[in-house]
Amino acid sequence: MTLAHRTTLTGPFPRPEALVKATRDLDRGRIDAAAAEKAFAEAEHEVAAVEARLGLDCRTGGYLRWADLFRPFSTGWSGVSPGPLTRFFETNTFYRQPLFEAAPQPRVGLLSSWLPRGPSSRAILPGPYTFAGLSDLRYADGERTRAALDIARALASELRALGDARPPFVQFQEPLLGYAPFDGELSSLVEAYRVLAEACQGATTAVWTFFGDAAPSLEALVALPVDVIGFDLFELELRRPLPLRGKGLGLGVVESRTTLPEDAKEISRLVRSVEEALSPSSVWLGPSPPLDLLPFDAASSKLELLPKLKEALSR
Amino acid sequence: MKLFATQEIGSLPKATPETMDRWASGLGAAAPEESLAERRSRFNLAFLRRAGLDIVYDGEAHRIEMSEHAYRSIRGAEFVGHVRSFDNKYFRKAAIRDRPSLLGPYHHDEFAFVRRTAGLPTEALKVPVTGPYTLAEWAYNDYYLAREPGRYRRVGRESAQRELVLALAREVLRPTLADLVGQGARLIQIDEPALGTHPEETALAVEGFEESVRGLDAEFSIHICYSDYEKMIPAIFEARSCREWAWEFANREAPGHDPYRLLELFREHGDTRRIGLGVLDVHRDEVESVATVADRIARASRYLGDPSRIRVNPDCGLRTRSWEVIWGKLTHMVEGAELARRAQVG
């Protein structure tokens, strides 16, 4: 059976240089909010044009307005607020650590202004395990398991509230499951994702890992009620074949830690070897980790790999 | 140097002309021909001295950012655009496109200005210099990665990274440090904040440090912050040319957790070098009381078992705080050190 290979962005895209300038100017009082909004809109068009030119199967708009993976929620929900600047894994970038004083209460309707729309749009949201794991939990005795479930319920409310505007692809970012082996209670994580899956009925769902080798967490990942499991090709060390049991495979194949272009031939060989080991039902290809670790031009240029790879893998 | 001598450790905010005017009384007038960077440098030196610090520098007033400043003087590096650091803050990131070499020692003019302006003995000036490991970590390592057959695997990336760290140490850091030593610099602090995110690479950072300082006659210290130090010990102790560990502690203070207890590990491993003790949390506006500072020094003295090896500093650079908060923190640090000194001497 020939596998179909689809391509997508898997996280935020870097801001174009014009938007970098506009946002700096906004902070320094040189332009007003309307001018900044215009710059954001133009930048989103620019990212959409890149996605269209490269024939990506999903459209994201680049998530250029998200200050970090958690900020729409840490500023929009009650029970949680944005805390101190904290390093985001092993990068030279930072997020404001969510500070939970109580179980989060969603502000239903929040997501409508933060997500792309359209028949091929892709929602990219924080996964509950990473959200809880990277937060300062000052309730529930700091218990990550309970917080992850509370977060999943709040995210599910937001997703249900989107109604028909909910994107047909919903991806949950779980870099923590790549960074370190899963060390929680599997039944609780499965329950958190069951809550999310119910809110995503009719959508294709994915859990995406990066910032490390997720192979040690593979059995936990396969147990989750989602359609696709995403891995960082450059970190994945498969010690033995482990079928994905009917799930699709996501692979980060565009490396955001270097501006060097990847070699399509060599990457297609590596993709094939992972496919053989995991026997996926479908394959999604994208960057890993998200490309916002690169400047805009470098990221756009490196994405050229995706259509080349798709072509190479179709032969 | 006296017991519990106080020292600055990193960058200060870029003062506006209005700020400098507001604080100008007693800080010395700027010479009319000075650039804004020079004026800031002069202002920072006077600010730190007026706060009472024993060992100072100029708050890195001449530098835009700790890696960009260096990469502007490195042949083989090319700036490829902006990467978002957080919110609407960005840094220009360099890609290594060729074998790195030094265009010219990038702290030469800065140190000459500071030395001339401060009018202090060189033992009272500590120059912070970004280390080779951090420079390598905060750039795209395209040159060595392209030559690495295993570039798509972690082991290949690590091999390429080692080559870059050592090349920067030999070709960039060592001549830069040699120039500073040649100008009379005695205290040089090698900053390696990137090691905090990769404590498992401590041995590589140590190798880079030793390559950088080889054959140079100065007192070198290593500043690392926001790290799991226990994961670096004992590998970090292999940095034999380091005379002082300048680490962050105050940020970790929490009910039931005494971060200064870490110093017991120095005794356990028989490491007898000096400690640059972080006593100010630079991420909070709350100004530590004089008593809090003195208590932190007293606890550290007990755990270390030798108060004479302690110098006192903020956890890290204070550039994210307001000038009012910085003033409050630094003056309390100086007073707290004095209180701890009196308690020790009796």
DSSP string, B44-55: HHHHHHHHT-SB
Quick one: pLDDT at residue B29? 61
Peptide bond just before A12 cis, omega within 30 deg? no
Q: Does B6 score more than 70 pLDDT?
A: yes
User: Contact, B97 vs B76, CB < 8 A?
Assistant: yes
Instruction: From chain A, pick out residues whose CB is under 8 angstroms from the CB of B145.
Output: 258, 260
Looking at residue B172, which CATH number applies to its domain?
3.20.20.210
Confidence of residue A140 (pLDDT cuts 50, 70, 90): confident
Q: Spell out which residues of chain A touch residue B93, defining contact as CB-CB under 8 Å.
A: 295
Q: Does A85 touch chain B (CB under 8 A)?
A: yes
Indicate which of B14, B83, B198 best probes the interface with A, i.e. most A CBs within 10 Å of its own CB. B83
The model's confidence at residue B27, banded by pLDDT at 50, 70 and 90, is: low
User: CB A260 to CB B142 under 8 A?
Assistant: yes
CA distance A63 to chain B (A): 13
Q: Are A209 and A221 in contact (CB under 8 A)?
A: yes
B342: number of Cβ within 10 Å: 11
Question: What does the pLDDT read at residue B28?
Answer: 56
Residue A240: pLDDT band by 50, 70, 90 thresholds? confident
Q: What is the pLDDT of residues A185-204, one digit of tens each?
A: 899 999 999 999 999 999 99
Work out the pLDDT band at B196, boundaries 50, 70, 90.
Answer: confident
Answer whether residue A267 shows pLDDT above 70.
yes
Asked whether residue B44 is domain-assigned, the answer is yes
- Whether B249 maps to a domain, the answer reads yes
The answer to the question of residue B144 being in a domain is no
Chain A residues close to B254, C-beta within 8 Å: none
3-state class (DSSP) for residue B215:
coil
Q: Are residues B232 and B171 in contact, defined by beta-carbon separation less than 8 angstroms?
A: no
Please, are residues B164 and A281 in contact by the beta-carbon 8 Å criterion? Answer: no
Residue A175 CA to residue B248 CA, distance in Å, equals 27
Residue in A235, A270, A293 closest to B83 by CB: A293
The answer to whether the CB atoms of A87 and B85 lie below 8 A apart is no
Smallest Cα distance from B123 to chain A, Å: 33
Domain boundaries, chain A: 5-18+66-314
Question: Within a domain: residue B318?
Answer: yes
Asked if the bond preceding B234 is cis, omega within 30° of 0, the reply is yes
Find chain B residues with C-beta within 8 A of A89's C-beta: 197
- Check CB contact under 8 Å for A270 and B85: no
**Percentage of chain A lying above the pLDDT 70 cut:** 100
Chain B residues close to A85, C-beta within 8 Å: 86, 283
Q: How far apart, in whole angstroms, are the C-alpha atoms of residue B222 and residue B224?
A: 7
How many independent structural domains does chain B possess? 1
Residues 6 or more apart in contact with residue B301 via CB below 8 angstroms: B307, B310, B340, B344
Interface test with B, best of A95, A258, A265, A309 (most B CBs within 10 A): A258
Cβ–Cβ contact A294 with B under 8 A: yes
Domain contains B242: yes
Q: How far is CA B90 from CA A295, B75, B250, B316, in A?
A: 10, 23, 27, 20
Q: What is the CB-side half-sphere exposure of residue A222 using CA atoms within 13 A?
A: 14
In a domain, B79, yes or no: no
**Closest Cα in chain B, distance from residue A227 (Å):** 27
Of A254-263, B19-28, B281-290, least confident by mean pLDDT is: B19-28
Confidence of residue B320 (pLDDT cuts 50, 70, 90): confident
First to last CA, chain A: 13
pLDDT tier, B25 (very low <50, low <70, confident <90, very high otherwise):
low
- Which residue range forms the structural domain that includes residue B247? 17-66+102-138+149-345
Comparing CB atoms, the residue among B88, B137, B140 nearest residue A259 is B140
> Does B6 map to a domain?
no
Q: Is B143 a domain residue? A: no
Q: Is 60 exceeded by the pLDDT of residue B342?
A: yes
CATH of domain A5-18+66-314: 3.20.20.210
Which residues, 6 or more positions from B220, have their beta carbon under 8 angstroms from its beta carbon?
B188, B189, B190, B209, B213, B241, B242, B243, B244
Phi, psi values for residue A303, rounded to 5°: -65, -15
